[in-house]
Amino acid sequence: MPSFLQIENISKSYGTKVLFDHIGFNINEGDKIALVAPNGTGKTSLLRILAGKDKSDSGGKITFLKDIRIAFLEQEYEFDPGLTIEQQLHSDDPDTQLRTRRILDELGLEPGRMMSELSGGEIKRVAIAGMLASNSEFLIMDEPTNHLDLDAIEYLENALKRSRCTLFMVSHDRYFLDRVCNTVLEMDRGSIYIYRGDYENFLAKRSERISNYNAETDRVRNILRRELEWIHATPCARSGKAKYRKQAFLELKDRAADAYTVSNITMEGLAGGGYLGKQVIDCNDLCFAWGDKPVVNHFTYNFQRYERVGIVGGNGVGKSTFLNLLAYSELPSIKRGESVRIGYYKQEGMQFDEDDTVMETVPDTRLLEKFLFPHEMWNNRLSRLSGGEKRRLYLLTVLMQNPNLLILDEPTNDLDIVTLNILEEYLLEFKGSLIIVTHDRHFLDRLVDHLFVFCGNGVIKDFVGGYSAYRTFISDLRKEEKARSAAAQVPTVPVKEKPAGPRKLSWKEKKELEQLEADLEALGAEQKELEALLNGGTDDYQQITAASARYEALRAIIDDKETRWLELSEI
């Protein structure tokens, strides 16, 4: 694929902290790239430089090889609360206006609503509508799924999969990365590594890279051991050659100390809990409303020991309000067990004293080390931490209370993928009950036993299983409803009396049926060839991309032809 963007020699620092130094890479037309790096390493800063919102400290060059439109979806969308949605997204271009109205409708947003009335998730939908409607060739996105409900995430996912745009984004949503991106760009220790393929391929190749690097480190350590014996056995000032060898020894020493520490995450002794009695939280005919808007309507449920509940639903249906009721409400319809010790992680986070140090905020050194706060960071002022690092530290202030009931409201927002994996391992071993509101589908599939689905108007339904099972159920249900609706809408018209006996295929229909059978056989053969190719027949990236696109197109063609074949076969 042709390259249309070249990045050369760019750097960014804040004070004495170097985020990245003299890095460079190319972006090819049609790439859908996920940028992966730990919190605090400058992901957002890099996106802002590419979008022209910030500048490189070292100058450097960012060269677009052709004139293209760029759209930048920032984490925090700037808007005028005094405008309607339509006014906020106003464009003088008629085509853009049409696209905007269509996308707003698909996202469930009314153009006349005031921006000041919208929830955080609805504001994010407005930002996404503006980005997609711009029809830009290059999209830059910073955590696009934050604050979105599951339906909106899937809408964006499908829109990006269909689009021919070039994409560069940061996201912690592993399902989203795997389904949208064809390239992963990793920033690690000041270097750039590019992996062609999906997120799963990145994990495998990164593990291989680290293993090779550590094997080289072991080889260097063996050389260092021999050099150390030479240093001890040889007078240091014997010759110039000895001085040169001594300098080489010092360089070897630095390289030998530079190894990746990759170990299995164990949470023994850290996974909280403590005694939890039989009664956790009992809700008996719970009702609650904001004004005339029901949030919870006649909800009865007794939460159990060691139960793991996921809570899902659209933006603004009251999920966070429900958590507040469980944690704080003194309503007689809510009773908490005497042994319950709640740890509550809120979506809005906590207010830190920016002059405090990491160690003053969380004195539990075991938690700090497990959640990627190494010893050299313990005396850092909180003002020096990135947004993601502060969220991670806030999470630790909740965990260090040793709760036996964890209530987590969007805990995955702003956390990097490495931290998410650690948090998942912690929660898998957590010895207590768990209630989670999250839009992270991977998180739900791994951690919960069942879902409370908020349907709106205070209705809450219980679904046994994780997110993937729920989406399959909903998809099947919608297909059934669509089929029933279509059948109900078929107009009843008077028809002429038919002669007795079944209708026979016309000559034209017989020819069509024969052609369909031939087409389906040929298309099926082509589909099998493509499956063989995609399952390991080639390493040619362009060929894989073309084959994948053709495979998706074939599925749609085959579905249409099979439907028509069935219609004719039943006559």
Write down the pLDDT at residue 292.
Answer: 85
Measured distance CA(35)–CA(46) in Å, rounded: 10
Give every residue of the chain whose pLDDT is below 70, as ranges.
1-2, 220-221, 223-224, 226-273, 490-503, 534-542, 544-545, 548-549, 551-552, 570
DSSP track, 176-190: HHHHH-SEEEEEETT
Fill in the amino acid letter for 437: V
For residue 187, how far is the Cα from the chain centroid? 18
Question: If we measure between CA atoms, which residue out of 184, 147, 150, 152 comes closest to residue 168?
Answer: 184
Measured distance CA(460)–CA(312) in Å, rounded: 10
Query: Which pLDDT tens digit goes with each residue over 377-429?
Result: 899 899 888 888 888 899 999 988 889 999 999 998 878 888 888 889 889 98
Residues 6+ apart with CB under 8 A from 410: 147, 347, 437, 438, 439
Write down the pLDDT at residue 529.
Answer: 80
Write down the pLDDT at residue 263.
Answer: 43
Contact 415, 388 (CB under 8 A): yes
Write down the pLDDT at residue 265.
Answer: 46
Q: Is beta strand 342-345 parallel, antiparallel or unpaired with respect to 405-409?
A: parallel
CB count, 10 Å around CB of 382? Answer: 17
Measured distance CA(142)–CA(375) in Å, rounded: 29
Structure tokens at 204: 């495998």
- Sign of the C-alpha dihedral computed for residues 77, 82, 88 and 93 taken in this order: negative
Write down the pLDDT at residue 477.
Answer: 79
CB count, 10 Å around CB of 88? Answer: 21
For residue 3, how far is the Cα from the chain centroid? 27
Structure tokens at 504: 């026979």
Question: If we measure between CA atoms, which residue out of 30, 430, 34 comes closest to residue 203?
Answer: 34
